[in-house]
Structure formats: structure tokens, C-alpha cells
Amino acid sequence: MGTFCSVIKFENLQELKRLCHWGPIIALGVIAICSTMAMIDSVLWYWPLHTTGGSVNFIMLINWTVMILYNYFNAMFVGPGFVPLGWKPEISQDTMYLQYCKVCQAYKAPRSHHCRKCNRCVMKMDHHCPWINNCCGYQNHASFTLFLLLAPLGCIHAAFIFVMTMYTQLYHRLSFGWNTVKIDMSAARRDPLPIVPFGLAAFATTLFALGLALGTTIAVGMLFIQMKIILRNKTSIESWIEEKAKDRIQYYQLDEVFVFPYDMGSRWRNFKQVFTWSGVPEGDGLEWPVREGCHQYSLTIEQLKQKADKRVRSVRYKVIEDYSGACCPLNKGIKTFFTSPCTEEPRIQLQKGEFILATRGLRYWLYGDKILDDSFIEGVLV
């Protein structure tokens, strides 16, 4: 109940502006189309009032929709939780282990990172998601992950209804005229038989909804990798920090081993750090339980080492081809176009002969800085 209240009691009405963004508009549009068409088609295919199976099917469909929307709005409006402005550790000496955020005028708490889109330091930041127009972090990590689980399951159910509806409608037709006809939609023994309109427009809409459902199942289902990092008590950013730590140790051939400090040693204990019966994650978002041999600032110390290492090593790449900075460049090949990262980080316009400093990368894209007169322009590079 407390979690539900947190959804409807926004910090201020400005939170409603999060809906005025292409991400939520598309996401809610897909949910609305798939849910509405699935409910209509379930009436055509499996009449819910005359059979137990039909009633269960319809109730499950409504249940999927409610749970998906609940977790979606929870992730959007509850938000990740932000480091208080002007925050600093209780022990002043601990500031030497932390980075200072000039925008928030505060030290970055362990596991927190500054989001340029939210313009705040986010507690246990995982990433900024354009589909909820908010960050995924400490407070909404569970809701976001449940949304990623429930959305594909609901879409699979809806897709099954769409397929069965089109099959039964076309199978029982005597001809392929698209006028309203009398059909026994569920093949149940009902009297009288219902007269249900299923014309060309209804068929096309159902086919369109089927495409949306299948596309959502694949696209959102691939993001469920979130569960993998939750079972390790990590975030996407921390996974990258750990990878760079191992690379730094190997590069300099150091006699040390990086141990991720927040892994509790078992998947169940890591799972409980995010998912709780109360819906409120453990801790306060500023201090975290750590494994034996580590302390609160083990990860932040590693971040400071990597920051210094980036400045020392200065691994530069020379641009060999112009890039306009387009979000999805068509002139760079089909693979590059379809593997464009789903992020609102700015793409950097590049010209042949310029230099970049890549901080991390995908197969066809790099995240990094453009080197220009000893300054950096951060963004995404193709």
C-alpha cells in the first residue's frame, strides 16, 4: 500500500511532464493498442461469459495490463532516488575517496553517478531509460525489472489471442468477403450464436497489434538481462567499471585482484537487496553492505584510479571518415543503422582527421570523448 501511495503522490506536478516525451508516448501507445485489441479479440475468439476458460483468459488479460501499467508508472514516477543536494559524508576525511559533482554541489555517494538528462546525481544509477523518461536506479530498479518481465509475458498472451482470433474468423468464413457475418467465435455451444463484426479493418488492426506484440516481446525481452546483473548485485555501469578494472590491472601487470565489494556471496542475498516484500529496497541509497575484505569506498577508489588512468594513458583513435552525428545513420551500413544504441546521449559530429578518446564500446558504436584543444566533448560515436 505504501508503494502504491508513492506512485500517486508525486513530489510535484512537474513529474507529469515526464509523460510528454516520445518514449512514454510510444510505450503507452503500444500497451494501449495491444491491450485493447486483445480484449476485443478475446471476446471474438473465446466468449468470457459462457465458459470458465473464457473467463479465466479474460481475467488474466486484464491482470497483465494492470500489473504492466502499475510497474511502468511506478518506475517512471517514483524514480531512482537522487543524492541530496549538497550531500557529503559524515566523516570529512572520507571525501578523499569520493568524486565531487559541480552541478549538484555535492559529493557523489558510493554507487551514484550524475545523469545529464535528469541533471542530478542518481543513487545506484543503472542507466537513463528513454522509455520511462527517467533513470533506473536504487528506488525503481525492482519495478523497472518487473516491467521488463511482465511486458513480454503479457504480449505473448496477447499474440496468442490475436493468432487464434484470426484463425477462427477466417476458418469459419464461407467466403473471403469482408462484410459482417454470423460466426460461432469460440466453437462453444451457445444459443443464440452471436453476430460479431470482423471486417477488413478489424483484420488489419489485429494483424498490426500482433506485429507490435511480437516486436515488444523480442525488444523488451532482450532487456531482461537486468535480472542477471541484479543476481550479482551490480548495475550496468558497475559491470563496466569492473571490466575496466580488470583491464587496468592486466595492462599494467599489477599484482592485485579486483573484488566487487557489493556482491553478497549468494544470488538469493543479492536478489533481496533489490526485491523486498514491502516494495522498498534495502538501505538508504547512500551506504551499502559490503562483502568481507572490502569497505564502503572500494568501488569509488577504483573509479578514481580509472579516471587518473584515462588521463595518463590517453588512448586516442583517429577519425578516418566523416560522421554527421545522426542518431541512426543510413550511410554507414545496415548493421550500424539497426544496432544504434537506444540512448538519448548526444551523438558527436566527427570529421576526418580528428581524434577521439573511447571510454567503452559496442560492436559498431563507441562511447567516448572528442578531443578538441585539450578539452573533451562527451557523447556516442559511430
Distance CA 230, CA 267 (A): 8
Could you give the count of Cα atoms lying within 13 Å of 15 in the half-sphere of its Cβ?
18
- Give dist(CA 259, CA 27) in Å, integer: 38
Return the closest-CA partner of residue 209 out of 167, 153, 160.
Answer: 160
* CB burial of residue 240 (10 Å; 0-12, 13-18, 19+): middle
| Residues noted as catalytic | 129
Which parts of the chain fold into alpha helices (H)?
A: 2-8, 22-45, 52-73, 141-171, 200-222, 226-230, 236-252, 267-274, 298-313, 334-338
Give the residue from 362, 264, 244 showing the smallest Cα distance to 310: 244
Spatial neighbors of 69 by CB under 8 A, at least 6 apart, are 31
Q: Nearest-CA neighbor of 18 among 175, 142, 133, 180? A: 133
| 3 state SS of 375 | strand
For strands 181-182 and 100-101, give the pairing. unpaired
Report DSSP letters for 275-288, one per residue.
--TTSPPSS-SSS-
Rounded (5°) CA angle 239-245-250: 130
Count of alpha carbons within 13 angstroms of residue 124, beta-carbon side: 26
